[in-house]
Amino acid sequence: MSRPIIHADILLRLVRSGSVSRAEKLLDRMHPADVATLFGQLRPAESQLLIDLLFSSRRAGKTLSELPSELIPQFLDQVDDERLAQIVLRVPPDDGIMFLEALEPDRRARLLASIEVGRRKELERLLLYPPGTAGSVMTPRFLALAKTATAQQAIDAIRTLGEQVEAIFYLYVVDEDGKLEGVVPIRRLVAAPPERRLERLMLADPVAVLASSPQEEGAQLVAKYNLLALPVVDPGRILLGVMTVDDVIDVLQEEATQDMYRLAGLADEDRVFSPIHTSVLKRLPWMSINLGTAFAAAGVVTMFEGTIAQKVILAAFMPVVAGMGGNMGTQTLTVITRGIALGEFEFDRAFRVILKNLMVGVCMGAAAGIMTALVAWFWQSDPLLGLVLFLSMVGNMAIAGLVGSTVPVLLKKLNQDPALGGSILTTTFTDVCGFLIFLSMARLVFHLN
């Protein structure tokens, strides 16, 4: 067991036992992220005690900004406006926005009114950007100088203003109107002669993202170009803020969670520590849709009641055919959805992608079909049953590859989220088609009714 886990376990026991002084001493030795994870395991009274300890030790801002998003509403219910204002003032602006966006409009307005004017205007500007945009996750605090400044002047500026900036990876070069002209990596700046101007050190026309662009677009640019921070600009290239690497990690985690959840038919609000009623309400609609598709598959089976009655062993192999097709479809859907999310291919190359996955389905179906056919042959001493299974497996897994690649592409073309509902559509096709192909083949080969 690692030391952070040991400390967290001890702190949890101290809080639950009410050992305030010992818990306060241990807090000073723990990382804020390790403390934040405990809130999901505490009862309301225990959570309130831990919040009081954090405020008394002046660690509330750093710790509570690490809270998982699903626990923020619970935390907001346990602190008054005065304490919340203290946190918003102490944390970086982009972290403060996280709390403000979770508040009811009336409480948000009341809280902003209690904050000093300069910080309030800074926060209000960030609130203008809709959640999910690059502007909503950027920090408006960055270092920018004119290109005529020297390396020594830039270093002096970093020493003077460095404490006000969240993270310094690059120095940005702007003109007199604030338009982004270049970027100077700090390593290049430190190694340069003191009198050298920034215009000779900067990388001209750096990669940037519009503040109105989706936040995942900014994250993709950071990953693609191996950046530590990404400038955020308006349509006129005026520098507005910076997406730092910690923002990008949060965005990537959020987007990965969304895609994973949507592939499984789950809502973003359904998390580990979500209340029971929230999880039930969020899952029930998709479960109802799944139930409807299951009845569609059951309807296909009822069409072959006579066939199954005459050769009962078919019932044992039906889940095998449908299940393998479902697995193939889910794998294909996952690969294509990821490719779309990362911009690995455009719609004009969709046909090649779909054809490739159709052929993958045929090959996978042939391999799985041979193994299934051999099992059926040796188990039932029936080579015809093996032939039916082989042909059914090839057909259903080919359909799985086709549908698993076509559905997300069509959803993207219709400006819909490729992950949303894709798994349900793919599973429905593979179940219905799997039963239909398998039982039709059996009826034909065995001359059944």
Q: Is 88 exposed, middle or buried (0-12, 13-18, 19+ CB in 10 A)?
A: buried
pLDDT for 17: 83
Q: Tell me, what's the pLDDT at 371? A: 93
Both structure tokens of 283: 């899952």
Listed in sequence order, the residues at least 6 apart from 175 whose beta carbon sits closer than 8 Å to its beta carbon are: 146, 147, 181
Residues 6+ apart with CB under 8 A from 146: 173, 174, 175, 176, 198
Tell me, what's the pLDDT at 153?
A: 93
The pLDDT assigned to 206 comes to 93
Answer CATH for 3-131 from 3.90.1410.10, 1.20.1270.30, 1.25.60.10, 3.30.950.10? 1.25.60.10
DSSP reduced 3-state for 345: coil
Cβ contacts of residue 26 below 8 Å, gap of 6+? Answer: 7, 10, 11, 14
Task: Choose among 38, 250, 291, 244: nearest CA to 143.
Answer: 244
> Is domain 276-445 in CATH 3.40.640.10, yes or no?
no
CB 93 within 8 A of CB 123: yes
Q: Which of 69, 102, 70, 68 is nearest to 84 (CA)?
A: 102
Residue identified by tokens 């020297």 is 150
For residue 412, what pLDDT is reported? Answer: 78
pTM: 0.64
Rounded to a whole number, what is the distance in angstroms from the first to the last CA of the chain?
63
Domain positions in the chain are: 3-131, 144-262, 276-445
How do beta strands 170-174 and 180-185 pair?
antiparallel
Q: Would you write out the chain's pLDDT as a tens digit for each of its 449 residues?
A: 455 556 778 888 888 887 888 888 888 888 888 888 888 788 888 888 888 888 888 888 888 888 877 778 878 888 888 888 888 888 888 888 888 888 898 999 999 999 888 888 989 998 999 988 999 889 888 989 999 999 999 999 888 876 777 778 899 999 999 999 999 999 999 899 999 999 999 999 999 999 999 998 898 898 888 888 999 999 999 999 999 888 888 777 776 666 665 555 555 555 555 667 776 776 777 677 778 878 888 888 888 888 888 888 888 889 899 889 888 988 888 888 777 766 666 677 788 888 999 999 999 999 999 999 999 888 888 889 989 999 999 999 999 999 988 888 887 777 776 666 667 778 888 888 888 999 998 888 888 76
What per-residue confidence (pLDDT) applies to 1?
Answer: 42
Q: Which fold has domain 144-262?
A: CBS-domain (3.10.580)
Tokens 């002209």, residue located: 181
Q: What is residue 77's three-state secondary structure?
A: helix
